[in-house]
Structure 1
Amino acid sequence: MRQSVLIVGNFLSATPNSRSVCEELAERLALGGWSVITTSDKPGRVVRLLDMLRTAWGRRHEYAVAQVDVYSGRAFIWAEATCRVLRQAGKPYVLTLHGGNLPAFARRWPGRVRRLLRSAAVVTTPSGYLQEQMREYRSDLYLLPNPLEIGAYPFRLRDRPRPRLVWLRAFHRIYNPPLAARTIALLQERFPDIHLTMVGPDKGDGSLQSLKQAASELGVDGRIDLPGGVAKADVPQWLNKGDIFLNTTNFDNMPVSVMEAMACGLCVVSTSVGGVPYLLTHEEDALLVPPDDAEAMAYAVERVLTEPDLAGRLSEKARARVT
């Protein structure tokens, strides 16, 4: 008899978005012979929640165990509600914790978080940061790093980097895209051919418009390309258009986009927030700067462009870190 599982998360790669980790998990389990049911691929929040609940209950005779992704904010409600249905159906479930803002959410709602985590058969997280921060709500958290098919990411040593930068995230306020425009503005006089490609879908919270407005006001809109969201298979191609990777986020956990850039050998300049210092080591495989500090980020980029030994070390060590 085939092993069967229900995976509850965001299956939205049919829309202009990056492929999620739960989609990778579903695909790998199916290839391994599992019978896999997934939910949800619905784009609207309410419709997605209803689809998750309907699938968890309506197909309860088709799976033996469930895996549920847990995020902070409104998305936490999806996990709470779905797990309530799973308990009513008598199904054991595994929780996977995501998102750099989850510890702050847990401090605000400790009872809710503790109840959910302690109700699960197993709780995992891809992040050492979350494993450490969330232990007070459940002590036995298992660390399972996000998988990366290293062979899909061709490596090129960036020991003579060009002023070609890449940013790869969704356009959402937590990722602070306007910081990238402010950084480019500070660098354009010293590096007149500097250019930035910002790849990612618009999450609709106004961040993309804020980026465009900032770029226009700073006079760098002609230096920034916005191709939108791209297919997961095309990510290495877009990354390899540049030599430096900017990560401007205000909150983070274990960002797959940063790992992908590291695998390709880009020199990473990132804000030092959330789980980022658990993935990157300052001056060894990346340069880390305070959040929302355009001057610090611009100086870090300038160092990469003017210190070949540093650039080569960052590039080589970054690839080694994710191999």
Structure 2
Amino acid sequence: MLQRPTSIQVMVATPSATAGQGGVDRVMATLKSQLEREGPSDVTARFLPSRGPGSVLLSPFYAIGFCLRMIEARLRGQVDVVHINLSSFGSTYRKLVIAGCARLLLIPYVLHLHGAEYQSFWHEDSGLMGVWIRHMFEHASQVVVLGRVWRDFIARRAPGAADKITIIPNATAAPTLPHRGGGETVHILFLGRIGDRKGVPQLGEALHRMRHMPGWRATIAGDGAVEAARTKAAELGLTDRVALPGWVGPEEVAQLIASADILVLPSFAENLPVSVIEGMAAGLAVVTTPVGAVEDIIVDGETGLLVPPGDVDALTLALTRLVQSPQLRAELGQNAMAVHRARLDLAPFAQAIREVWLASAR
């Protein structure tokens, strides 16, 4: 029986080496921070860009650069496992190259699936590309997914990977700022890319329907179609109730969460949204949709409120209930915080990833 190595070196392929704004980089940044806080251990991880900042036209050069670093590390005996973060479209095309290079170098690799729309991207009629993707999954030493729906999807599309799948939900740190909420005015907060997939048009319509109800304000923060959202808010008569600051950095996000009472994310497609977990960590009342792996962490009426995607009536009703009921907000928030501390905090997340790395090394 082969003995598991006592110390391993891991190369982590993440879009912008934890410096980017996207969800994958944010998750990997929190993992890196947690590993650094824990100090020396049985793993050493280097986080390297596979897409890079700026134009997507430059992304192939970053993918090739990652492969060159893999080759150098292999020759120097400085890599035991490659951890590949994976999303749809360009991310998959680049990771096919990186995974293929890892196989040629005989380096075990872990696939970590993040893509919110991977089911529609990798469909039954994907042709030759679909075959390549299946081979990539089936040749992985381990596959990490964020919830049950993704485990079942990968097991169905890549049967050879079924016994190598581990569910590890995303995680966030507990807030460092004390929660103060919105005071007498209930603060509704949206964090994410502003656009159709995240349900921002439906959120705008729900807030429009609530405009005559006193006692609330909202912040819709994120990049994407910010100017179009501002124009629409003005058309709906919401400029005095709804702030649209655009993209905000980590410090501003922490301040917004500390000042919020409700976290809303009415998405049409997600894998497992970080903003929902951040809201749970702070004890906010969460309103979201049962998409992706959301139902693994949000139980309707217990740890949040679930509304059907695109259902403006249900979204309006859920937000109205929470604005009008401090007790319901408090109960949902406390239950959500308990789930976060038990399952979605950084220490268990880092330990689970570490175990996957150690299991992958040979």
Normalising by structure 1, we get a TM-score of 0.88
CA contact (8 A) 2:11 2:47 kept: yes
Give deviations 1:6-44, integer Å, cap 9, x for gaps.
211222764566652123334444544615151143332
Change (3 A) 1:28 1:320: closer
Q: State the SS of the aligned residue for 1:245.
A: strand
Q: Which residue type is aligned with residue 254 of structure 1? A: L
Q: Which residue type is aligned with residue 94 of structure 1? A: V
Q: Paired residue for 1:123, among 143, 147, 152?
A: 143
Count of paired positions: 317
What's the % identity of the aligned pairs? Answer: 23
Q: Which residue type is aligned with residue 122 of structure 1? A: Q
Match of 1:268 in 2: 286
Q: Paired residue for 2:72, among 61, 67, 70?
A: 61
Give the distance between the partners of 1:222 and 1:148, measured in 2 at CA: 32
Give deviations 1:164-221, integer Å, cap 9, x for gaps.
2100112243213222211110101122x5321112223xxxx323322321221113
1:185 aligns with 2:208: yes
Match of 1:146 in 2: 170
Give the distance between the partners of 2:90 and 2:239, measured in 1 at CA: 33
Give the distance between the partners of 1:113 and 1:258, measured in 2 at CA: 29
Give the distance between the partners of 1:37 and 1:274, measured in 2 at CA: 26
Give deviations 1:101-155, integer Å, cap 9, x for gaps.
2123222434333211001111112323312322212312111222322253645
> RMSD of the alignment, in Å?
2.6
Q: Paired residue for 2:196, among 151, 166, 173?
A: 173
1:24 aligns with 2:46: no
Match of 2:227 in 1: 209
CA contact (8 A) 2:13 2:66 kept: no
Give the distance between the partners of 1:285 and 1:35, measured in 2 at CA: 34
1:36 aligns with 2:46: yes
Give the distance between the partners of 1:281 and 1:217, measured in 2 at CA: 35
Match of 1:4 in 2: 9
Give the distance between the partners of 2:118 and 2:299, measured in 1 at CA: 22
Which has the higher mean CA deviation after the structures are superposed, 35-44 or 274-283?
35-44
Where do 5+ consecutive residues of structure 1 fail to align? none
- 1:156 to partner: Cα distance: 6.0
Change (3 A) 1:123 1:164: same
- 1:254 to partner: Cα distance: 1.2
Which has the higher mean CA deviation after the structures are superposed, 290-299 or 20-29?
20-29
- 1:274 to partner: Cα distance: 2.0
Give the distance between the partners of 2:154 and 2:180, measured in 1 at CA: 37
Match of 1:198 in 2: 220
Q: Paired residue for 1:133, among 144, 149, 153?
A: 153
Give the distance between the partners of 1:153 and 1:177, measured in 2 at CA: 27
Where do 5+ consecutive residues of structure 2 fail to align? 1-5, 74-78, 342-362
Change (3 A) 1:88 1:77: same
Give deviations 1:46-77, integer Å, cap 9, x for gaps.
31232122222244232332100111233221
CA contact (8 A) 1:268 1:287 kept: yes
Match of 1:87 in 2: 103
Give the distance between the partners of 2:255 and 2:56, measured in 1 at CA: 32
Q: State the SS of the aligned residue for 2:291.
A: coil
Q: State the SS of the aligned residue for 2:337.
A: helix
Q: State the SS of the aligned residue for 1:173.
A: coil
CA contact (8 A) 2:200 2:266 kept: yes
